[in-house]
Amino acid sequence: MFTYILRKLMYMPFILLGVVALTFMLFTVSTKPEALATIQLGEKASARSKYEWLATKGYVEFTERGREKLSKMEKQQIPARGTMLFNASILADLASERDYLKSEIDALAGEDPEDKDVKARLARLDLRRHKNEVESRAAIANARQTYLIEKAGQANLDAVAKVDDLGARKAAAQEALDKAKAAGGDTAALGKAARDAAADHEAALKEHEAALALVSRVKSESEKITRVEDIEPDLDYTNIFRQFVNYTADLLRLDFGDTRQGRAVTEVLWSGAGPSLALLLPAFLLSELIALFFGLLAAMYRKSSMDHTIVISSIVLMSLNGIAIIIAGQKFLASDWNYFPISGYSTGFGATRYLILPALLYVLLSFGEHVRFNRIIMLDEVGQDYVRTARSKGLNENQVLFKHVLRNSLIPLITRWAVAIPTLYTGSLILESFFGIPGLGYLTVDAIANSDGNVIRAIVVIGAVSFMLANLLSDVLYAVVDPRVRLG
């Protein structure tokens, strides 16, 4: 047994790597990095915030020239600037515009000559308009830079003029003080003139210091403006292998990123796993026990009225629409008769009253399919030679069914149960949405509606890994139920 399990475990890393590679291609390779950043941060996010997020996730990195500039910024050899990632966003916009124009050219190649002529002229007009927009933006940027530099120069001239004016005021005040002393008349008038002159002198000094500070600040801003091109670092995309390594490392750390609301995806999944398991685990067990009982009952009394009743009931329930059954259950059992709450959820044991009706509806929805499957499996086993041998030994019908038929029917049943295990984690999308249960199914619907890629990716990855582990468990259970599997 141990050797059999060990042999199965040897395949696990390769299967897990395949699952990770598949989800990487689905959620990363098939989407541009800028689109991933937009999905994560929203449409209104700035270009800088998007590229900073991409840099933290390993999608972009600084080139050699960019790293050199970044090092100078950290050492304060050149001033840092808030738009240090602006060039990268402009390049991305130009690349998308280039791709759009190439697609338009390819589309024109397949048009009729007359339509092609008209569309070519329209394309040239559109290209000219786009070129004018780019030139206008450049002209506006140059004009703004020139304006700021001129403003700095004008501020310098104004400051110098203000200093000269303050000097003249100081000289006039000193002259008035000298005249008052020369007159030697009224002592009170002389004191007042001295105080006025001192106040004017102090105010002049303060205004002089403020003017010098303004000149220094404007000069510094002017130097920054003239060196914009020298402080813009370059960015480039990381290679696909490094992106895959970063992606795998995040998965191993269970780091699925954040939701669009800023919460950690792992925290959101953990909060949703409890309600899903509280609903589906007892509902699944009850459904399987009921289906197993009626499947055995139909096999025991095959071709009887009981068998026909079970088969007809199964077909009727399989034919009914699941959403219609849920709506009918909510209307009659919850809304009209008030046996259960219509929707909602509570923590702890208070959640029981909210889970009874969804669990019963789950049993009803799965009854037809599961009973039909179990009946077919049981009937197939009843016709085997070992059953006739058991009966010839004098065993009663219950011993034949439960000791021999049921045990040999477990292999296909284990397969179906293994497939159902991941659904216990991912939850029931319809039931949780209708009854407002904040489980993983409800979170999945909400994530799809809000285009929350990180939540969707996490649920897909965990569902795939759960399915893989369930298959491993089913292989082990095969060996427990049927020793012939170990020999194979």
What is residue 133's predicted lDDT score, i.e. its pLDDT? Answer: 64
What is residue 333's predicted lDDT score, i.e. its pLDDT? Answer: 93
Of 66-75, 355-364, 382-391, 475-484, where does mean pLDDT reach its minimum?
A: 66-75
CA distances from 480 to 138, 384, 486 (A): 75, 21, 9
The pLDDT of 63-77, averaged and rounded, is 66
Residue that wins the pLDDT comparison between 413 and 138: 413
Share of the chain above pLDDT 90, in %: 18
Query: Is the per-residue pLDDT at 222 higher than 80?
Result: no
What is the pTM (predicted TM-score) of this model?
Answer: 0.62
Per residue, what are the HEC states of the chain?
CHHHHHHHHHCHHHHHHHHHHHHHHHHHHCCCHHHHHHHHHCCCCCHHHHHHHHHHCCCEEECHHHHHHHHHHHCCCCCCCCCCCHHHHHHHHHHHHHHHHHHHHHHHHCCCHHHHHHHHHHHHHHHHHHHHHHHHHHHHHHHHHHHHHHHHHHHHHHHHHHHHHHHHHHHHHHHHHHHHHHHCCCHHHHHHHHHHHHHHHHHHHHHHHHHHHHHHHHHHHHHHHHCCHHHCCCEEECCHHHHHHHHHHHHHCCCCCECCCCCEHHHHHHHHHHHHHHHHHHHHHHHHHHHHHHHHHHHHCCCCHHHHHHHHHHHHHHHCCHHHHHHHHHHHHHHHCCCCCCCCCCCHHHHHHHHHHHHHHHHHHHHHHHHHHHHHHHHHHHCCHHHHHHHHCCCCHHHHHHHHHHHHCHHHHHHHHHHHHHHHHHCCHHHHHHHCCCCHHHHHHHHHHCCCHHHHHHHHHHHHHHHHHHHHHHHHHHHHHCCHHHHC
The pLDDT of 66-91, averaged and rounded, is 55
What is residue 181's predicted lDDT score, i.e. its pLDDT? Answer: 59
What is residue 84's predicted lDDT score, i.e. its pLDDT? Answer: 41
- C-alpha 228/C-alpha 141 separation (Å) is 11
The pLDDT of 326-334, averaged and rounded, is 93
The pLDDT of 129-158, averaged and rounded, is 57
Give tens-digit pLDDT for 383-431: 888 888 988 888 887 888 888 888 888 888 888 888 787 777 665 788 9
Query: Is the per-residue pLDDT at 173 higher than 70?
Result: no
Give tens-digit pLDDT for 279-318: 999 999 999 999 999 998 898 888 899 999 999 999 999 9
The pLDDT of 61-81, averaged and rounded, is 64
Query: Is the per-residue pLDDT at 327 higher than 90?
Result: yes
Most confident of 157-161, 172-176, 205-209, 465-469: 465-469
Kindly report the average pLDDT of the chain as a whole number. Answer: 75
Query: Is the per-residue pLDDT at 372 higher than 80?
Result: yes
Of 31-35, 124-128, 396-400, 453-457, where does mean pLDDT reach its minimum?
A: 124-128
Question: Which CATH superfamily, name and number, covers 254-487?
Answer: MetI-like (1.10.3720.10)
- C-alpha 87/C-alpha 66 separation (Å) is 11
Query: Is the per-residue pLDDT at 456 higher than 80?
Result: yes
Give tens-digit pLDDT for 119-128: 666 666 666 6
Q: Given the structure tokens 């600037």, which residue do they identify?
A: 81
The pLDDT of 162-169, averaged and rounded, is 66
CATH code 1.10.3720.10 region(s) in the chain: 254-487
The pLDDT of 449-476, averaged and rounded, is 84
Give tens-digit pLDDT for 235-244: 666 778 888 8
Query: Is the per-residue pLDDT at 228 higher than 50?
Result: no
Of 5-19, 57-71, 434-448, where does mean pLDDT reach its minimum?
A: 57-71
- Give the confidence band of 230 by pLDDT, cuts at 50, 70, 90: very low
